[in-house]
Structure 1
């Protein structure tokens, strides 16, 4: 069966001597993998369209698990991302997160739109870490792990958030804070930022000015929540951590 889709390359790996297997996130069919024959060769017609982060039109034939690419046209190559280490590192994290959290033919149009919007935001030099957290939250929502931020997870009353419980999956009010000794104290501003990650469309965000200490706490909260409820070890995230550790 022949398919024509718009997709974003979220993974590209060598296959045999001259071929590549590319994994696409598409609006219509979720995550798909296709063989781009000859893509590793210097003069290949698929060389550019098989590169990571490329957004394009892809025509392929599929009869089994893997499709075979017949034609590709690049819509947005995201050159600026690939040409800069920091942009590429953050974009790689979002691509790997998508690939690892979705199964074959799994996904939904909103995830495609949010990934494409996130790559555009990174290319436009919007705050990379805030973009990461917005997309992480969308992936958590897709997987069914949306944190409870509108009411206390213990008493179920709409009180002001006093802390965030990683294990219980959401905010705690002052009265219930002792129910989780590991709960992390948060300010009203942190609570608003977490709600923003749920509600905001990354395609419509402007420049967000966040204090460094606030960003560090947000990162700690999001990383801890992801590690507890999703538990994925990602090479791209380890690379981001190494860059931060050595001040790259």
Structure 2
């Protein structure tokens, strides 16, 4: 059967002597694997369609739920600026690998596609990459069913002052100081960081404007989101290790 789908390349790997297999996050069919024959050859007309981060329209033959075979394609946005910038490429790679690991094959829903597309566009527009990725991570957590409870204490269900709230990555939400004994390692956060986390919970990435966040707040935000991601999803990503190395050497 012939399929036509808008998709973003989230993974690209060599296959055999001259071919590539790409994984697309598509708007219509979720995550799809497609074989691109001859993509490694110098004169291949499909080579550009296999590059990571490429957004395009892909036409492929597919029987059942197996691997598709590319027939034709058209690039709608190459996102070459992401591949040419080390920092942007690192964050974009993390966004793609994270989605690849969380999104199951054939899991439909345009939400994943739209959030990834918005993430790529925001990175290319020179918005703060850490803020973009932290917001993207929040959307991933929510879509996967692990969105944190940030408005009321996850234990006693009471609304407290922000100054009396901590974040419990293990319990998946905020914990008031009266319930801290349930999770002693719960993290103290400033009211400013807690407000940003709530904003991330409500905001769609497609509506992200230019956000100016103080360095100390960004550092706290990054620590909290990393803890939530590690505890709730427990993924070990190569791209995350590279981002950690970038931080270590202040790249």
**TM value normalised by structure 1:** 0.97
Is it true that 1:140 corresponds to 2:144 in the alignment?
no
Is it true that 1:9 corresponds to 2:9 in the alignment?
yes
> How far, CA to CA, are the matches of 1:69 and 1:235 in structure 2?
28
> How far, CA to CA, are the matches of 1:205 and 1:230 in structure 2?
24
What is the CA deviation profile of residues 2-57 of structure 1, one whole-angstrom value per residue up to 9, with x for unaligned ones?
Answer: 10000000000001100000000011110000001011111111100110000000
> How far, CA to CA, are the matches of 1:45 and 1:150 in structure 2?
52
Is it true that 1:24 corresponds to 2:27 in the alignment?
no
**Following TM superposition, by how much is the alpha carbon of 1:76 offset from its aligned partner in structure 2, in angstroms?**
0.4
**Following TM superposition, by how much is the alpha carbon of 1:107 offset from its aligned partner in structure 2, in angstroms?**
4.1
**1:64-75 → structure 2 map (5 Å cutoff):** 64=64, 65-75=66-76
- Unmatched runs of 5 consecutive residues or more in structure 1: none
Is it true that 1:168 corresponds to 2:171 in the alignment?
yes
What is the CA deviation profile of residues 53-91 of structure 1, one whole-angstrom value per residue up to 9, with x for unaligned ones?
Answer: 000000000015100000010000011111111110100
Give the 3-state SS of the residue equivalent to 1:104 in structure 2: coil
Query: What residue is the counterpart of 1:206 in the other structure?
Result: 209
> How far, CA to CA, are the matches of 1:93 and 1:107 in structure 2?
21
Query: What residue is the counterpart of 2:86 in the other structure?
Result: 85
**1:27-176 → structure 2 map (5 Å cutoff):** 27-64=27-64, 65-161=66-162, 162-176=165-179
Query: What residue is the counterpart of 2:245 in the other structure?
Result: 242
Give the 3-state SS of the residue equivalent to 1:49 in structure 2: helix
> How far, CA to CA, are the matches of 1:97 and 1:228 in structure 2?
15
The range that moved more, 71-80 or 155-164, is 155-164
**TM value normalised by structure 2:** 0.96
Give the 3-state SS of the residue equivalent to 2:234 in structure 1: coil
